Amino acid sequence: MHRVLMVGCDLPTSDLLWQSLSDSAEFLEAHSPSEGLSLALRYRPECILLDAGLPHMAAFDLCRTFSRLAATRFTPVFVIGGEIGVRYKDLWRDLGARVYFEEPVDLIVLRERVCEVLRREQPERRAEVRYGVSVVLQITGTDIAGEPFERLVLTDDISESGFLCDCPASLPKDATVSVLLLGETASYLGGARVVRVDWPEGIRQRYAFHFLEKPRSWLPRTWPDHRFIPSWARTRPS
């Protein structure tokens, strides 16, 4: 059965969805960011509804975390918020939210969007282990306008054959770049191809790169995936 996770959502929203979709989806409710992250990692829901009004700006941090973790990267996040959230609609999109619903929420439209997600086939996750350690890369290539560029990017999502990073340069899918790993010395990793553009309309685009030839021993020794989890989520909910 499909699963929908609701983090901090109000009673009318959760009641409507439960009444209309309970025969086709299991609903999980979380009342804090740490509980929401724990349920998402444990049950892998097909859709996440996130209340923008969580205290201490925690909703921003949680949305960003969902968009970076391997387990939830492709899970659509629908943000539900009030007046303060409207001011940050572009930021929500750049943090990885699929849709922002202004209050009062049109619950019928929300239900339809959730149904669309539940009917859609989910994309494949990256087969390789992801490592949550920060590295600085220099990428060089030609942007979508045919202009040469050279950018330093910081990423903490790397694997043996690729990496994910934000970059101000506009690149089309299948564009190729040259990649240097910067540290005490610069190490040339080879060419890489853009295999996915996450936010083509955002202020800063995010790209998934796959190396044309797998680099030799470029991964540092580190713990995988759980290093993405922010400090507030490392303690168990009370």
State pLDDT tens for residues 106-160.
878 888 888 888 887 555 455 677 776 778 999 999 999 999 999 999 887 888 8
Q: Is the model's pLDDT at 188 over the cut of 60?
A: yes
Q: What pLDDT digit, counting tens, does each position of 5-18 carry?
A: 999 877 777 777 77
Residues 133/183, Cβ–Cβ less than 8 Å: no
Query: Which region holds residue 110: left if phi is over 0, alpha if psi is between -120 and 50, else beta?
Result: alpha
- Confidence (pTM): 0.56
The torsion defined by the Cα of 32, 34, 35 and 36, in degrees rounded to 10, comes to: 80
d(CA 174, CA 193): 6
Q: How confident is the model at residue 200 (pLDDT cuts 50, 70, 90)?
A: low
Q: What is the mean pLDDT of residues 172-193?
A: 92
Do domains 2-119 and 135-211 share one topology? The answer is no
Mean pLDDT score of the chain: 80
Q: Is the model's pLDDT at 235 over the cut of 70?
A: no
Query: For 135-211, which CATH superfamily applies?
Result: predicted glycosyltransferase like domains (2.40.10.220)
- Domains of the chain by residue range: 2-119, 135-211
Q: What is the pLDDT of residue 212?
A: 95
Q: How confident is the model at residue 203 (pLDDT cuts 50, 70, 90)?
A: low
**Interior CA angle at 218 toward 216 and 223, to 5°?**
130
Q: What is the mean pLDDT of residues 36-45?
A: 90
Q: What is the pLDDT of residue 179?
A: 96
> Which CATH number is 2-119 given?
3.40.50.2300
d(CA 10, CA 136): 41
CA 147 to chain CA mean position, Å: 29
Quote the radius of gyration of the chain (alpha carbons, Å). 19
Q: How confident is the model at residue 101 (pLDDT cuts 50, 70, 90)?
A: confident
Q: What is the pLDDT of residue 111?
A: 83
Q: What is the pLDDT of residue 148?
A: 95
d(CA 174, CA 208): 10
d(CA 50, CA 60): 10
Distance between the two ends of the chain, CA-based, in angstroms?
28
The count of C-alpha atoms lying within 13 angstroms of the C-alpha of 86, restricted to the half-sphere facing its C-beta, is 6
Q: What is the pLDDT of residue 204?
A: 61
Q: Is the model's pLDDT at 174 over the cut of 90?
A: yes
Q: What is the pLDDT of residue 10?
A: 76
* Mean pLDDT comparison of 7-21, 43-57, 81-95, 223-237, highest-scoring range: 43-57
d(CA 100, CA 78): 6
Nearest alpha carbon to residue 190 among 142, 139, 155: 139
% of the chain residues with pLDDT over 90: 25
